[in-house]
Structure 1
Amino acid sequence: MAITDETITRLRSTAAAGDAQAALELGRLLCLTALDPAESGDGGPTWPEEHWLRAAVKARPDDVEALTLLTGRLAQQISYWEAVLDMNPDVMAEYGEDEDTVGRRQIEAEELYARIRAAGPLGHAEAGLNELAVLLGVSGKPASETAYSFYVLEDEAQSGSVRHSATVVASDADEIRWACDEWLALSEGGFGTLTLITYVDATEVSSIDLAQHFVDGFVDWDAVDVPELSGPRLPAGLPVPGRGLYYGFSGGAE
């Protein structure tokens, strides 16, 4: 089902009233955005999903999907701020971040990961969980052979010696379309090279130059044949084994 502004408004209203499932669904969608559509920002990292995922976990402490989403996004935050710490630690202070805040996230993420594992066998999520464990530094066990299916939206541009990039990883066609529309609205048309790549069983089966389908600064999705996914889909919140890709939105410059 197509995701609209009304979808987000309805989920937000229901989640704010204390509905844990709505908080989970809203948090999952906001994982795919750089900024909550209802808020304004200064271009810095906001992690808009965190509030709602925490609400979902608080209401349902044993909900594996909520635990996985929150743990995966905390792992991404840790990776992001560790990279900033290496490149430009002064920037961290502007956002109230330092080694201590990163360390606290690390401790929390490890505790959440242990709760996921305590839930028992998780089917085809095993490979992604193993990858998450490696990223968190709690295991060196290589990922299993599960080959996931997923979408990757990539936008990038070169400015002098700096490459700016934005990436969204999702496993639902409607969600990747919505994430793309949100990114184009936020970035006022994107960075430059916007590509939608489809992987089925970890193999690239399609790469679409979305700029060829722009109408008034947005993608005309009626003109884009987005392949359907088959096989095991990447579970929401988990990284793609062996590819350095996190579920949801990520951005950066190098």
Structure 2
Amino acid sequence: MEIKDKPFHHPPAGGGVDGEKDKPFRFSPTDGEAAGGTEKTAQSLLKQRINNFLIIYFNYLTLALALAILAAGLFLFIYPQYQEIAKGNETAEKNLQAEHEIKRIYLNGIRDLKNLYQLISAADREKIAKMVPAGNQAVSLIPEIESIVLKNGAVLNSIKIAEDPKSQSKTKSKIALGEKLEMPAGIFEQLPEGVGLTKIEINLSSVNYPVLKNLLKNFENNLWLLDIAQVDYDAKENKVILIIYSYYLLR
């Protein structure tokens, strides 16, 4: 069997199939309009989704914004005031602790004093009670003053016991009458709370200088707490006026 070579088939001129000529590529305006419409549709869809999101979550967004504003207000206004109040509370707490410590020390002192007082014998307690008696008992001093004067060879001319110048009713009446009060002299510039004072004026004669020294010494060494505030001595007449204050516990 004889096989003959077939000639190679060339495509028709013009490059087309079946003799069709090649056509140039052209962009159709309708294709651009279609693309633009698709882009506008996407934008509209995005806007619609955003609107739907805002509509659905509007309350939550409003709440979140309100919380953010509230937090900012707390931080800017409330927090500084809170810090100031906290510092004030800290200072007040320190002051209270210091005051508590002072009162604790004072209470411990009272307890220690009470324990010491319980260690004192009954006889010594009686002496202490006589030094500063409870209530105004200045009249009880008159016999003791007479004994001291006679013991030293002097003559007792008079004894005057003035009312307590610190008593409230007396002070009010003197202020109402415009009378000038005599300030008490002696060991207390201001009487302690709960302590009263009585002024005693003693007029003596036949008192020379040695007798005067002995009299003052006897008064100072007396068990009763006496404060010699003034000594008006007349050496020519051998006379002396003593101003003495006695103290007592107010009831």
Higher helix share: 2
Q: Same fold (TM over 0.5)?
A: no
Which structure carries more relative contact order (alpha carbon 8 Å, separation 6+)?
A: 1
What is the TM-score of this pair, normalised by structure 1?
0.22
What is the TM-score of this pair, normalised by structure 2?
0.22
> Which is higher, the Rg of structure 1 or of structure 2?
2
